[in-house]
């Protein structure tokens, strides 16, 4: 983490306003700042730099206006942030850095860090905002409901689906499950109710949507929704959008109970690995598909149990020569984002998670270490780390790449550097890798960009070319001890 004033200022000055970064002068009306706070909390979180001019409005050396321009506005903003937002913002921090303003006088910037929230927040006057690119966008009632499904504050799995008989369920699967959980003697409806998979009504029982998803013969048909897994296998490294499609075989859709979807998807993965053309590696031939099964199992299990089932779409699994893409409907749940996904936990569908975990052949351990173990499994095979894309790159979905590529030896050095720094330039990369050739380093950086490991920082200033890890934002890299 970076906490030196000058280093923080350099990061702020070298990045444009975007999904997780906003610059505001201290003269701005406090309610305009509140809109940014609400938008950040409702989307992916972000940093507000108060006292810094928009990079599109002036040159770099004129942007540091400082909070001395209107300190009263800043004070008023901090009073309003706790009074005018409903529900209150749960996680926010702020600190000051010392700067020389554009009049060459000592001044300060105020840095406000708003975390992504598990709830949906609005201004008390009624407006609700989300962040789209560098804009705060006001949303209406239907979008607010969709956002609550996304965050998991409204749970699709808890909704009843109007089904009051068990004909749509795979009763043999249900009986096996009851037996494995020492509940064979219990009435089916009572068992389902006790496990959050059905509810008692004045006239009997009704299944919840979780009950249909976990035990339904075909949830896609019963719920009139796309809630399966679609698998496509391609020749090469990307789809062919002109001429003949480059499918190895016709895409298939897997439906049925969720545990069946996971098992069948893993079975197809095994067949693809088994029939992949061997390649000479060292003195022996090895399968050309190197992604370990455990990593793939964790990835597809996460997609099935954490996806947003209110979204009318199947999980997409795409096999290419150089990667597997797994795209799950719905963005990251609750406060989860690409920066904390290895260490934080939040279940959008806790009933589904709990139920699948209690199968005798459970695909999920539910101990909060799955994603981290997936990273370690890839590392053990000398493959690049799993790559989760942020929502601004693939909106309304969680997109994961498992790269079927051996790491280039220089990557570890660059990756470790970026774990403690926000960005890296060609010159800095050459210094830490001992590569003297600018062109060779440039080719390596472009290779990592093409593979999805790095992205070029969008800056308005020529000559300031630098790169950061995909999905890493300012808020994850700058910090200051708080009182």
Domains in the chain, CATH or no CATH each: 5-150 (3.30.950.30), 156-222 (no CATH), 229-403 (3.30.565.60), 410-476 (1.10.10.10)
* CA dihedral sign of residues 49, 54, 60, 62: negative
**Is the per-residue pLDDT at 128 higher than 90?**
yes
pLDDT tens, 331-374?
999 999 998 998 888 999 999 999 999 998 888 755 557 898 89
Average pLDDT of every residue of the chain: 91
pLDDT tens, 421-460?
899 999 999 999 999 999 999 999 999 999 889 998 866 5
Mean per-residue pLDDT for 278-282?
64
Pick the more confident residue, 311 or 395.
311
Pick the more confident residue, 2 or 462.
2
- What band does 482 get if pLDDT is binned at 50, 70 and 90? very low
pLDDT on residue 458: 67
Which residue's structure tokens are 């010159």? Answer: 427
The closest of 38, 46, 118, 153 to 335, measured between CA atoms, is 118
pLDDT on residue 132: 93
160 vs 435: CA distance, rounded Å: 61
Q: What DSSP string describes 72-85?
A: HHHHHHHHHTTTSE
**Is the per-residue pLDDT at 58 higher than 90?**
no
pLDDT tens, 60-76?
889 999 999 999 999 99
**Is the per-residue pLDDT at 461 higher than 80?**
no
pLDDT on residue 261: 97
Q: What is the DSSP letter of 209?
A: H
Q: What DSSP string describes 444-464?
A: HHHHHHHTTSEEE---SSTT-
Cβ–Cβ contacts within 10 Å for residue 367, how many? 9
Q: Beta strands 229-234 and 315-319: pairing type?
A: parallel
Mean per-residue pLDDT for 80-109?
93
**Is the per-residue pLDDT at 282 higher than 80?**
no
pLDDT tens, 213-245?
999 999 999 999 999 999 999 999 999 888 789
228 vs 223: CA distance, rounded Å: 12
- What band does 280 get if pLDDT is binned at 50, 70 and 90? low
């Amino acid at each position: 983490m970076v906490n030196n004033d000058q280093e923080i200022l350099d990061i702020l000055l070298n990045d444009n306003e975007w999904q997780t970064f906003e610059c505001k002068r201290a003269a701005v009306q406090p309610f305009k700042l509140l809109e940014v706070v609400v938008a950040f909390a409702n989307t992916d979180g972000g940093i507000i730099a108060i006292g810094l001019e928009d990079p599109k409005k002036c040159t770099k050396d004129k942007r540091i206006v400082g909070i001395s321009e209107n300190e009263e506005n800043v004070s008023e903003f901090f009073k309003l942030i706790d009074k005018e937002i409903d529900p209150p913002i749960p996680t926010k921090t702020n600190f000051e850095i010392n700067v020389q303003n554009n009049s060459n006088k000592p001044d300060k910037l105020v840095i406000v860090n708003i975390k992504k929230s598990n709830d949906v927040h609005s201004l008390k006057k009624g407006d609700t905002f989300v962040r789209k690119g560098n804009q705060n966008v006001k949303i209406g009632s239907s979008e607010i409901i969709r956002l609550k499904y996304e965050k998991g504050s409204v749970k699709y799995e808890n909704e009843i689906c109007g089904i009051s008989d068990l004909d749509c369920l795979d009763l043999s699967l249900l009986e096996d499950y009851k037996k494995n959980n020492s509940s064979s003697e219990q009435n089916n409806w009572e068992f389902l109710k006790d496990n959050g998979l059905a509810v008692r009504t004045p006239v009997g029982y009704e299944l919840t949507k979780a009950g249909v998803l976990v035990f339904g013969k075909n949830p896609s048909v019963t719920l009139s929704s796309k809630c399966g897994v679609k698998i496509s296998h391609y020749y090469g490294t990307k789809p062919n959008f002109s001429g003949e499609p480059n499918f190895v075989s016709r895409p298939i859709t897997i439906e049925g109970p969720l545990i069946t979807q996971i098992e069948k998807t893993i079975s197809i993965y095994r067949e693809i690995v088994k029939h992949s053309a061997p390649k000479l590696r060292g003195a022996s031939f090895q399968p050309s598909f190197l992604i370990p099964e455990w990593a793939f199992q964790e990835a597809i299990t996460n997609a099935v149990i954490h996806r947003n089932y209110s979204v009318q779409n199947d999980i997409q699994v795409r096999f290419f020569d150089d990667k597997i893409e797994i795209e799950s409907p719905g963005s990251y749940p609750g406060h989860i984002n690409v920066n904390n996904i290895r260490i934080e936990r939040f279940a959008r569908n806790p009933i589904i998670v709990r139920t699948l975990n209690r199968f005798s052949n459970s695909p999920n351990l539910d101990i909060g270490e799955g994603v981290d173990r997936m990273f370690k499994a890839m590392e053990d095979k000398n493959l690049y780390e799993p790559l989760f894309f942020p929502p601004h790159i693939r909106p309304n979905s969680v997109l994961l790449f498992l790269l079927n590529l051996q790491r280039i030896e220089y990557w570890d050095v660059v990756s470790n550097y970026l774990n403690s720094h926000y960005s890296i330039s060609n010159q800095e990369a050459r210094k830490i890798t001992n590569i003297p050739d600018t062109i060779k380093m440039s080719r390596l950086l472009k290779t990592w960009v093409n593979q999805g490991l790095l992205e070029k920082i969008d800056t308005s200033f020529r000559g300031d070319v630098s790169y950061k890890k995909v999905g890493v934002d300012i808020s994850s890299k700058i910090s200051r001890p708080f009182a």
